[in-house]
Amino acid sequence: MKNLPHSLPQRAPGRSAGPWAWVPTLYFAEGIPYIIVNTISVILFKKMGLGNADVALYTSLLYLPWVIKPLWSPLVDILRTKRWWILAMQALMALAFALTAFSLPRRTGAEISPFVWTLVLFYLSALASATHDIAADGYYMLALDTHGQSVFVGIRSTFYRIATVFGNGLIVLLAGWLELRTGDVPTAWRMTMLLCAGLLALLSLWHLFALPRVETPAGEPESSAGNPSSPEARPRQSFRQTLRDFLKTFGLFFSKPGIGIALAFMLLYRLPEAFSVKMLSPFMLDGTESGGLGLTTADVGLLYGTVGVIALTLGGILGGLACGRWGLRRMLWPMALSLALPCGVYLYMAVFQPASLWLVGALIALDQLGYGFGFTAYMLYLIWFSQGAFKTSHYALCTGFMALSMMLPGMVAGWMQESLGYVLFFVIVMICCLATVGVTFAARRRIEPSFGMKNTEVQ
């Protein structure tokens, strides 16, 4: 029998399966709670009768754990093992979603006070999900060596996308079907959240058996299956040394050349999307007399979870191919414009309120295609700026600013929409495209012309 490649962990008899058994499900489990907390929660609160200002404010605050997760990431590395954190956080999220089902008010149109426990449980789920992200990404680097990581990087991204389709599409469709079937919105969403809890519980149970044990409680690798040269596979440092390194990463990050321009780019490149994203589902669900399109929950699930996600994925693939061919610097302008300008489809829909689901779907596909294409440049810019010492920690800080860029505008988006109406609100969104243009002009000049091209080495 031929020996298996060393790059892929072999299965120990009677213990755990190989990477095909856990990489797809691990990143599916990473995507599902993020979608529930940050996207499906908007639809849930809207259908339960909260106003747009409350919906946008409270659900935007759910981004906070992803903003500040670098602050407690050393604890995941010091305490217990990453496998333990993964299993514990999945079980905690299952419990939180189950309790969320029972916390929902029994009538729609309730004031915010009956939703307090629902919000608390969503924040708990957000904290657990952000912590799970830290542990899952660290475990991936530990359980696979660099070749194995390269082999499975496309698989993990694909299954995260599948989780997006599943969440935005099937879960929302299910909630819409249950609304029609039961005639009771709270009951429909209570059943939906219980099913989400069951899904997370099953994933946690599966990973209990499928995840290899590649760490001991002391942090040293159990076997040579993973990457023994990585920092994660070395004996753990003391808490004092870890704290010193942690503070050093912050100091180096904020002393990088061009940090001011970089922070402006991270916070403002997606400004049109940041204002609009929390209002898109309410816009689709509100009646035409309120300036919306009057779609059902199932319609929204169908459009965003299928047509929208397919267009988003296609845009991302095209963006990756374009940057690989021509480089980030050359592609930054067309990508910035493709991210910002298609937001105009919502201004068009707010003005004309099309009744055709086909037309609405086509316009959403156009917006999501452009967004997927343009978002590629944003992620590559974060990778470029994170180069150098502590690049993993610096990338985590960049993603924290990415989450902050979505949280702050989203908090006031609902108040703006209720004050201005949908038409003027989307006019403001289009004006925000000027911010995207401005930071693109400032940031583009500092990027190496060859960065992102095929065969270009990242230091």
DSSP H helical segments within 211-327, as ranges?
Answer: 239-254, 259-268, 271-285, 297-302, 309-326
452 shares a domain with 379:
yes
450/429 same-domain check: yes
Query: Sorting pLDDT into bands at 50, 70 and 90, what band is 262?
Result: very high
225 shares its domain with 254: no
Beta bridge partners of 221: 215
As a whole number of angstroms, the distance between CA 353 and CA 345 comes to 11
215 SS3 class: strand
For range 243-256, the mean pLDDT: 80
Q: How confident is the model at residue 308 (pLDDT cuts 50, 70, 90)?
A: confident
The domain boundary, picked from 186, 206, 236, lies at: 236
pLDDT bin (cut points 50, 70, 90) of residue 6 is very low
pLDDT of residue 221 exceeding 50:
no
- Identify whether 10 is part of a domain: no
b/e for 184-216, b at 16 or more Cβ within 10 A?
ebbebbbbbbeebbebbbebbebbeebbbbbbe
**Does residue 5 register a pLDDT over 80?**
no
Same domain as 423, residue 313: yes
Domain assignment present for 97:
yes
* Beta pairing partners, 215: 221
In a domain, 1, yes or no: no
pLDDT at 77: 72
Within-domain flag for 5: no
Residues 412, 267 share a domain:
yes
Question: What per-residue confidence (pLDDT) applies to 283?
Answer: 95
Neighbours of 71 (CB within 10 A): 12
Please say whether the dihedral angle defined by the alpha carbons of residues 350, 351, 354 and 360, taken in this order, is positive or negative: negative
Q: Are 266 and 408 in contact (CB under 8 A)?
A: no
Amino acid at 442: A
Is residue 384 a part of any domain in this protein? yes
If asked whether residues 283 and 225 sit together in one domain, one would say no
Query: What is the residue-averaged pLDDT of the chain?
Result: 84
287 and 229 part of one domain: no
Q: What is the pLDDT of residue 109?
A: 65
Expressed as residue numbers, the domain containing 264 is 243-459
Position 99 pLDDT exceeds 80: yes
pLDDT band at 370 (very low <50, low <70, confident <90, very high): very high
Residue 154 binned pLDDT confidence (cut-offs 50, 70, 90): low
Q: What is the pLDDT of residue 239?
A: 62
Q: What is the CATH classification number for the domain harbouring 370?
A: 1.20.1250.20
pLDDT of residue 29: 94
pLDDT score recorded for residue 125: 95
Choice among 149-153, 281-285, 337-341, 418-422 with the minimum mean pLDDT? 149-153
2 versus 340: the higher-pLDDT residue is: 340
Which of 214, 236, 258 terminates a domain? The answer is 236
Residues 17-59 have pLDDT tens digits of 578 889 889 999 999 999 999 989 999 999 888 889 989 999 9
Instruction: Please indicate, yes or no, if residue 277 is contained in any of the structural domains.
Output: yes
pLDDT at 151 over 80: no
Mean pLDDT across the stretch 72-77?
Answer: 76
Residues 76-103, mean pLDDT to the nearest whole number: 91
Instruction: Give dist(CA 418, CA 267) in Å, integer.
Output: 24
Residue 272 maps to a domain: yes
Mean pLDDT, residues 321-335 taken together: 88
Report the number of distinct structural domains present in the chain.
Answer: 2
pLDDT at 153 (0 to 100) = 61
Looking up tokens 């808490």, which residue turns up?
A: 239
Whole-Å CA distances, 444 to 241, 349, 384: 37, 33, 12
Confidence of residue 334 (pLDDT cuts 50, 70, 90): very high
Residue 372: predicted pLDDT: 86
What tens digit of pLDDT does each residue of 371-423 get? 888 888 898 898 888 887 777 678 778 888 988 999 999 999 999 999 999 99
Asked if residue 232 has pLDDT above 50, the reply is no
431 and 335, same structural domain?
yes
User: Among residues 206, 236, 266, which one ends one of the domains?
Assistant: 236
Please tell me whether residues 256 and 194 are part of one structural domain: no
pLDDT tops 80 at residue 189: yes
